[in-house]
Amino acid sequence: MICPLDFRYGRLELKHLFSEEQRLAYLLKVEAALARAHARAGTIPEEAAREIAEKATPEHVKLERVKEIEREIKHDVMAVVRALSEQCEHGRYVHLGATSYDIVDTANALQMRDALSMIEESMKTLLGNMVKLAERHRDTIMLGRTHGQYALPVTFGLKMAVYAMELVRHLKRLSQVEDEISVGKMSGAVGTGAAFGDTFFDVQNHVMEELGLAAEIPATQIVGRDRYVSLFSFLANLATSLEKWATEVRNLQRSEIGEVEEFFGERQVGSSTMPHKRNPITCEQICGLARVVRSTLLPAWENAIQWHERDLCNSSAERFIIPHALVLTDWIVTQMGKVFSTLKVYPERMKENIERSNGLIFAEAVMMKLTEKGMSRQEAHELMRRYAMEAKERNVHLKDILKKQKEMVERLGDMDELFDAASYVGKARELVGLALEKIQHDFPDINV
């Protein structure tokens, strides 16, 4: 074994879809649909179609025999055709009128559609876990950070609601992409359908109807690779969000922050030499594999550039990128779901970190109150900037600086409420509620 997908990453269900045996099953399924379509169009006998469809399974067409033929003739699809023909008395009707990529691209559509369906279920599980965290922590106040620095108070529930709505958008994109890639062809070597004669449209329509696909109208020898670009762009986009969320967990788990933590098993080991370590290894894995998923986008773009009606450059690359991108995307979605389902959240540490800010995160709140009291916004901003910089340089609380300023005391009076984080989270609670309502409306099967 060479590829880590064989032994380390990926759910068995997804990997099964891309196994050699299952790939053969997809190809045979298309050949069976083609035979039945011919029979419906009246171009081959009904009994021939029944026999071909019955024998077009891996139980009759053995993978070992297909490989044996391919070693001899150096053509993978023709090896399947010959192996199937050997099993049929009416073998002369197998693959009638078709070119290899009628079978390959139609099988690709079935395979990618099935993979996306599984990924969708993983995404919905992840969404459910995000929703639970958003609801549970609607009022859990924490530091908001911009540029890696203290910003303003926010709630952990709002953070999770933002993530959940981003995932909702990805789910909607998935639906669009599934429509784009659920397209096959049965139009022959250059897309004209010449080998099918007058029955071309009937045959192609019957095949696609049986398989639940749309037909590429018109096609060259292959389905348009702009469709595959859309698929890989979606996967790269989703992987980017997953890496972003995992990076946030990693940052919030840093020793000096310590506001959340990945689940760490009782007997889990964090380091081979440092017994105290509790590393966010799942989130780190998500980040690393997300980069692999995004790397598949470049060959997908390159594959869309074909010579004339097609060349073969896309074939070898797609054997790598289609299974790897789909299996890894599903894997990191699933892993992210596990992270959020078992995430430890430490509200007390969040409060401690707010206190460590020495009141600097309330400079805007004071500035806005000064404008309410008649000071110009620009004057209030400059005044608070100076006081905030002084507090930072002297490492004292901002409120202590302000209480020594006669003008501030006169304008603001009691300042305690201005330095209460709970009073300066705006409409965070309501925003979480709006997000959860929308999710419930769009995805009623997600428990909100």
Distance between start and end Cα atoms, the chain:
43
Active site includes 271?
yes
**From 19, 117, 271, 376, the catalytic residue:** 271
- Contact at 8 Å (CB) between 155 and 139? yes
Q: Which of 147, 276, 308, 441 is catalytic?
A: 147
Strands 183-184 and 214-215: parallel
| Identity of the residue numbered 230 | S
Residues facing 154 on adjacent strands: 142
Nearest to 229 by CA among 181, 175, 182, 195: 181
Q: Which helix (H) or strand (E) holds 345?
A: strand 344-345
* C-alpha pair distances (Å), 224 with each of 33, 126, 295: 22, 32, 21
DSSP H/E element including 38: helix 20-41
Residue with tokens 């380091």: 271
Among 28, 26, 27, 46, which Cα is nearest to 36's? Answer: 46
- Reduced 3-state DSSP string for 14-36: HHHHCCHHHHHHHHHHHHHHHHH
Residues 6+ positions from 118 with CB-CB distance below 8 Å: 11, 13, 14, 17, 330
Q: Which amino acid is at 145?
A: R
Number of residues assigned to the chain: 448
Alpha-carbon span 23 to 76, nearest angstrom: 12
Torsion of CA 29, 185, 298, 236, to 10 degrees: -70
Residue 87 is classified by DSSP as T
What CA–CA distance (Å, rounded) separates 95 from 37? 11
Instruction: Tell me how far apart the alpha carbons of residues 266 and 269 are, in angstroms, rounded to a whole number.
Output: 9
Helix and strand totals (H; E) in the chain: 18, 6
Tell me if residue 260 falls in helix, strand or coil: strand
Integer angstrom CA distances of residue 235 from 163, 171, 305, 327? 17, 11, 20, 11
Which residues lie below 8 Å from residue 241, measured CB to CB, with a gap of 6+? 163, 166, 167, 170
Is 175 catalytic? The answer is no
Alpha-carbon gap, residue 366 to 384, rounded angstroms? 8
Active-site residues: which are they?
Answer: 147, 271
